[in-house]
């Protein structure tokens, strides 16, 4: 069980309790995905965890949280003008009282959003000053979270299914001349509307970047460029289903694929298949990254891509482990990885393929039913 794994790591690190406030860590330790980011969890090495959440979320907590110790804060307190995180801090300090060695998310770089998404909540210095001498719990949590339980894997399979169904929807509707933003809206609307309608999902949310033809780049926004005929339209897509994620890049092409893109597809899929085959227990992450980049360089594109070729997926769309040729670590059974090689042309255009793979003793298992490469449509 994952909570036993966390407690074993806490014992090794000589930590009495973890105090977490990132929505993905609260979810991981309590099974509760909060609305506003005001939530926190106190997870002791021994005894019952404590969940802190808004009073308005009482029914959600009763339905989904694993712990019976739930303490509530007011979103608006008539006699207290301070922002809600100040009250979260007080409740968390009270729940953590008596634990001598506490771990906080001191080196947390990114986190998954709460359910409201659009207005992420950050905590002030007072939160970190509330536990003087606290240890950094981020490496411990990252290591534990890298190995998925059956319950987590099932939720990630659902996210993958929702993403694929939305791609099938867009495949039937995508037409040349449609703007990239319209194409993105078709996909996002299907995820939220039909994904949330599933009996096994409370809330499905969609995130996307869509680029077409020469608009295919990395780290640029979706715009009003038209979908190009005979060239791929790239969908960089994430689905979050009740707090667990998938991360894909899929490609649709209205019409026949132009020869230069057909050649690029063949080249890139050869690298993709190499990387997927390396997704086995015991595989060096540094070697995986190095081999992938060497293969891309051999195709005439040295130094590409400018983003990781492999990273973990789970309670965040991007989470450890990350493959880096100058780093360390190795793959283990139970991990879920996004494999995403890419080649971008100078001046615009190019291709990326990406899917999620479950690492098993017998090899990698692809989680999405939607095809890789360039899918013809229209």
According to the model, what pLDDT value does residue 98 have? 93
Residues of the chain under the 70 pLDDT cut: none
**48 HSE (CA, 13 A, CB side):** 10
Decide: helix, strand or coil at residue 360: strand
According to the model, what pLDDT value does residue 218 have? 85
According to the model, what pLDDT value does residue 283 have? 98
According to the model, what pLDDT value does residue 4 have? 96
In this prediction the pTM is 0.95
According to the model, what pLDDT value does residue 277 have? 98
Provide the CA 146 distance to its chain's centre, in angstroms.
12
Average predicted confidence (pLDDT) for the chain: 96
Distances, alpha carbon 71 to alpha carbons 40, 92, 243, in Å: 10, 9, 21
Backbone torsion region of residue 148, taken as left when φ is above 0, otherwise alpha when ψ lies between -120 and 50, otherwise beta: beta
According to the model, what pLDDT value does residue 101 have? 97
Q: In 266-373, which ranges are E strands?
A: 310-312, 319-322, 336-339, 342-344, 350-352, 355-360, 363-366
């Amino acid at each position: 069980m994952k909570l036993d794994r966390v407690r074993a790591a806490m014992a090794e690190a000589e930590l009495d309790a973890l105090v977490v406030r990132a929505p993905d860590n609260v979810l991981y330790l309590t099974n509760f995905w909060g609305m506003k980011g005001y939530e926190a969890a106190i997870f002791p090495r021994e005894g019952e965890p404590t969940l802190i959440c808004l009073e308005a979320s009482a029914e959600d907590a009763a339905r989904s949280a694993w712990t019976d110790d739930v303490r509530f804060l007011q979103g608006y307190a008539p006699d207290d003008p301070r922002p809600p995180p100040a009250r979260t801090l007080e409740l968390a300090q009270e729940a953590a009282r008596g634990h001598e060695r506490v771990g906080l998310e001191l080196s947390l770089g990114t986190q998954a959003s709460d359910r409201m998404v659009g207005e992420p909540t950050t905590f002030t210095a007072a939160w970190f000053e509330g536990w003087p001498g606290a240890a950094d719990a981020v490496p411990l949590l990252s290591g534990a979270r890298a190995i998925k339980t059956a319950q987590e894997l099932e939720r990630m399979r659902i996210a993958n299914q929702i993403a694929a169904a939305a791609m099938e929807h867009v495949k039937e509707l995508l037409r040349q001349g449609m703007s990239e933003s319209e194409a993105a809206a078709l996909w996002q609307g299907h995820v939220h509307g039909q994904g949330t309608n599933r009996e096994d999902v409370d809330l499905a949310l969609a995130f996307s970047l869509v680029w077409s033809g020469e608009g295919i780049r990395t780290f640029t926004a979706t715009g009003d460029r038209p979908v190009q005929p005979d060239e791929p339209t790239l969908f960089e897509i994430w689905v979050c289903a009740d707090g667990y994620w998938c991360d894909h890049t899929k490609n649709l092409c209205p019409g026949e694929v132009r020869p230069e893109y057909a050649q690029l597809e063949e080249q890139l899929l050869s690298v993709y298949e190499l990387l997927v085959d390396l997704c086995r227990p015991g595989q060096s992450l540094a070697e995986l990254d190095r081999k992938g980049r060497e293969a891309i360089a051999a195709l005439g594109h040295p130094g590409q891509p400018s983003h990781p070729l492999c990273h973990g997926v789970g309670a965040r769309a991007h989470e450890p482990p990350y493959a880096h040729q100058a780093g360390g670590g190795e793959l283990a059974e139970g991990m879920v990885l996004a494999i995403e090689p890419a080649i971008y042309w100078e001046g615009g255009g190019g291709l990326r393929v990406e899917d999620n793979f479950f690492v098993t003793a017998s090899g990698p298992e692809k989680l999405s039913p939607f095809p890789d490469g360039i899918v013809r449509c229209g």
